[in-house]
């Protein structure tokens, strides 16, 4: 069966639409696995929740999802993120808020654990170093863990002897799921931060055990124009051009 793994949509409807079209091109998908931050930063929080809700999907809560419904203190956010979050909160319907409220922080699905940040701290921890990954392997039971939050596609691997290694997750290269435990980040749909502005997601084929990262161009200008119109911070607008 096929599964698409997406994270950090960040209210970027143009990016989400492009990714969903690309996923459909890859073949029938049983279920979409979403790793949180559906909203925040971008101009289309309601539209992204509405579109995602039409798909067969499961989703965990991200820090921006929780902040938008008042479940996280904005003092933890930088000023641009806090401003965007207050804007997001004003642009959600009651149904959107109910959807965000319904999101669990951890989902266990067959061989996978889904979280936004890390298995140790599902909402807040950025998992970007081998040392923190090594500790985090102790915080989930399944063989694989899927994370978002850093917006950087990457793979942490734990060998049988407990050693931990890190690698980039390059596009169009199939990663074979073997016996080792892995923590995987599929990159961000709506605000990539690995110097590639294209939307990022992963496609998993459970029959072959292969996971492949895909990068998808989308109409960045369309999203930026909406952000400018909504007076969202210019730094957030500009970074989409560069994927930073
Ligand atoms: Zn995010």
Distance from C-alpha of 28 to C-alpha of 39, rounded to nearest angstrom: 26
pLDDT in tens, 221-232: 999 999 999 999
- How remote is the CA of residue 117 from the centroid of ligand 1, in Å? 9
pTM above 0.95, yes or no: yes
Topology given in CATH for the domain delimited by 2-239: Purple Acid Phosphatase; chain A, domain 2 (3.60.21)
Q: What is the pLDDT of residue 161?
A: 83
Token readout for 220 is: 């960045």
- How remote is the CA of residue 79 from the centroid of ligand 1, in Å? 15
- How remote is the CA of residue 78 from the centroid of ligand 1, in Å? 13
pLDDT tens digits, the chain, 244 residues: what are they? Answer: 999 999 999 999 999 999 999 999 998 999 999 999 999 999 999 999 999 999 999 999 999 999 999 999 888 899 999 999 999 999 999 999 999 999 999 999 999 999 999 999 999 999 999 999 999 999 999 999 999 999 999 999 998 887 899 999 999 889 999 999 999 999 999 999 999 999 999 999 999 999 999 999 999 999 999 999 999 999 999 999 999 9
- How remote is the CA of residue 187 from the centroid of ligand 1, in Å? 10
Please tell me the total number of residues recorded for the chain in this structure: 244
**Parallel, antiparallel, or unpaired for β 107-109 and 112-114?**
antiparallel
Domain spans of the chain, in order of start: 2-239
- How remote is the CA of residue 164 from the centroid of ligand 1, in Å? 25
- How remote is the CA of residue 67 from the centroid of ligand 1, in Å? 12
> Taking a C-beta distance cutoff of 8 angstroms, is the pair 133, 191 a contact?
no
Distance from C-alpha of 62 to C-alpha of 124, rounded to nearest angstrom: 8
- How remote is the CA of residue 35 from the centroid of ligand 1, in Å? 9
Token readout for 152 is: 């950087």
pLDDT in tens, 30-60: 999 999 999 999 999 999 999 999 999 999 9
Q: What is the pLDDT of residue 18?
A: 98
């Amino acid at each position: 069966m096929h599964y698409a793994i997406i994270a950090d949509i960040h209210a970027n409807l143009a990016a989400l639409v492009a990714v969903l079209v690309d996923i459909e091109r890859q073949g029938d998908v049983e279920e979409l696995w979403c790793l949180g931050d559906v909203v925040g930063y971008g101009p289309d929080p309601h539209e992204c929740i509405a579109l995602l809700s039409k798909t067969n999907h499961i989703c965990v809560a991200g820090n921006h999802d929780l902040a938008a419904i008042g479940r996280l203190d904005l003092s933890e956010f930088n000023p641009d993120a806090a401003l965007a979050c207050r804007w997001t909160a004003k642009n959600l319907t009651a149904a959107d808020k109910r959807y965000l409220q319904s999101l669990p922080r951890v989902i266990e699905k067959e061989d996978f654990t889904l979280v936004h940040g890390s298995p140790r701290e599902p909402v807040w921890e950025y998992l970007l170093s081998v040392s923190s990954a090594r500790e985090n392997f102790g915080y989930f039971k399944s063989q694989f863990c899927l994370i978002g939050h850093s917006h950087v596609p990457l793979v942490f691997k734990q060998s049988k002897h407990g050693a931990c290694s890190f690698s980039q997750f390059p596009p169009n290269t199939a990663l074979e799921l073997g016996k080792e435990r892995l923590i995987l980040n599929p990159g961000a749909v709506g605000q990539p931060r690995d110097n590639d502005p294209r939307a990022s997601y992963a496609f998993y084929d459970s029959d072959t055990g292969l996971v492949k990262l895909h990068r998808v161009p989308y109409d960045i200008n369309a999203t930026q124009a909406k952000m400018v119109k909504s007076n969202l911070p210019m730094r957030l607008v500009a970074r989409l051009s560069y994927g930073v």
